[in-house]
Structure 1
Amino acid sequence: MLVVAAVFTFSSRVAIIAAGALKWFQHSCPLFTLPEHSTGATVLLAFVAVPPGTSSLPITRDTAFESSPMLSEEKEDGGDDDDDFQPVQLLKDISGLAYMGDGTFIGVHDAKLREPLPRVSMFRLPTSLGGIKYMSMKPNWPEDRSSNDLESAARIPGTRQVLLCESGDDASELDRIYLAEVGRRSIHIKEHIRWSSFAKAYNVEASAVALTDSGHLFLWAERNSTTIHWRDLQLSPLAIGARGVSSGSGTFELSRDQRHLCDRPVVGLDVDSDGAIYAACSHDIEGEGDFGPYRSGVFRIGRIQADQVKIDQQPTAMTFQDGFKVEAVARADEVPDKFVTKAPMTFIATDDENYGGTLRPVIMT
């Protein structure tokens, strides 16, 4: 007997009827077996050379339902048991994002001090329907404690190094900035400093690093403020504002409509290779729970030329996202061809709380 089989997935009662037919076929042909963990949602459609004199499949709708391993109608239609549902995605949040220049990103998560949750991940752009790939990283945190509330990540231009920045925790002792070296599949903490060594940090969700004529520059902003601060950055040993070469601040203003859109004016920062400064904002009212709906936007807020930082008084709105709570923006000046993404490209990352998180390219108007 010749049997040709193919596997298909259905979400209708066609699957139920076919499953009943398959039960009959198993009984008639003992050598034909089902996969060990098959369910009624997986149907093996068999095209069989039936010997002469064999009757057609003795199947009715009732016998099909009796033999189906699918949920009963009562549970399918009236049950409220979440055990039968699977998460749509495993990624829960991205609080900060840094593009590493090869189609990969380093992302941080805002796990609190004693929470057994991921803190740093590596993301790779999709090349197929398989989607975004990610890998949870395990940095060598200092012996006294792991990270607390990482809210931003900033790549050091031209290197494989990133700054992983805690929020500051209302100017408490939990206010570290970690310098890390990123490998192909690893991340190594080299050293760390505290925000309090150069500034008071209450709830910083945005940071970036730029390369200027005078050296590296570290930029940051508090979540609820439209003021951008900057200080000179030294990498060996790690220090911010130690040389006093460049320090300052600048403030932009949101229009009334923009303020209505973004009650959190700066939740992400990045500087591209041309010196343009980008900021992400979001709408997430405290006390409204973690179910949204959210709104977000990305603005161009200024430029760095030579060693001068200029913050525009009126930012330029570039793109808006309804339904998402953006917490990071990252500019990609170059993207390898295999990722089929035209560069330069702007990427956003979201922390949509109970709706999870994601990473997406966006069109800048």
Structure 2
Amino acid sequence: MAKTNPGRFFEDYSIGQVIDHAVPRTVSGGERALYHALYPSRHALYSSDAFAQACGLPAAPIDDLAAFHVVFGKTVPDVSLNAVANLGYAEGRWLKPVYPGDTLRSSSEVIGLKQNSNGKTGVVYVRTRGMNQRDETVMEYCRWVMVRKHDLDAPAPETVLPDLKSVLAPEDLVIPEGLSFADYDFTLAGEPHRWGDYEVGETIDHVDGVTIEEAEHMMATRLWQNTAKVHFDATFRPDGQRLIYGGHVISMARALSFNGLANAQMIVGLNGGAHANPCFSGDTVKAWTEVLDKAETPAPGVGALRLRLVATKGGAPFELKGEDGKYLPGVLLDLDYWALIPT
């Protein structure tokens, strides 16, 4: 009997299938230190216990995207080990902050299947939940991936496409218990801009850029225990290049957005996202943001901004798609999310 796991292929999934993912992960302050070493991340709420306590939290949580990567990484051996590409996200919500000492695990339900016309691959849709040691759901999100078939003669499953929200409504967002920006310290946060200073339709060039290094993205995939072959096995792609983990690009772009959005402290909703073009070592990532919407929240001094974060590896800022409606070749990421900011 074979002891090794080749991973699931497209024909191994079925609608309603629930997969409890292996290897729970206890996060620590080391998680934050390494995350901040990998990315130029400087949002004050995730950097300082004292700042977080002044905002009504017991301590600085682990960065929202660091927690996301831990939960996401658990799913890779079961969902995307044999993936060709991670195609998109929807209905992502951060439900509880994650603190050092918390233990995270993940569970996914298959909610959609569609075989591609080439008969060699198919798209798998899953809804993933991340839970802590108290069985509290700390986050949930949907994603869809293109997965290889192992048996090309396996019959195509009935096509089921899930009905997913294109945008989370403000009332869908969960504000962390106790969070208050009533006594927010703009000097310590790094910028004076508050909720009222941003207008729908405004665009922000975040100016700075970071060149992706092979060693750093490899360290990131290992940190998140992401075992997708395309990220670490150079023989897995015909061009002999390791594909940069999409989450690495997300975190890089989010960190770069500090310059202009230093007070967009917490990500609480992920409306959608697309990895528009592949990223490889040596690419220099830059970022720009468009303000899509604004909303008030019931928390003291806390507003929400809906933001489109675009990461690029070339081209002028604020250029996204060509006349054919397709992403320009220099666009790496198009991410639509909700963030909390002082009013």
> Could you say which TM-score interval applies, normalised by the shorter chain?
under 0.3
Q: Which has the higher contact order (CA 8 A, sep 6+)?
A: 2
* Higher radius of gyration, 1 or 2: 1
Give the alignment's TM-score, normalised by structure 1.
0.24
Give the alignment's TM-score, normalised by structure 2.
0.25
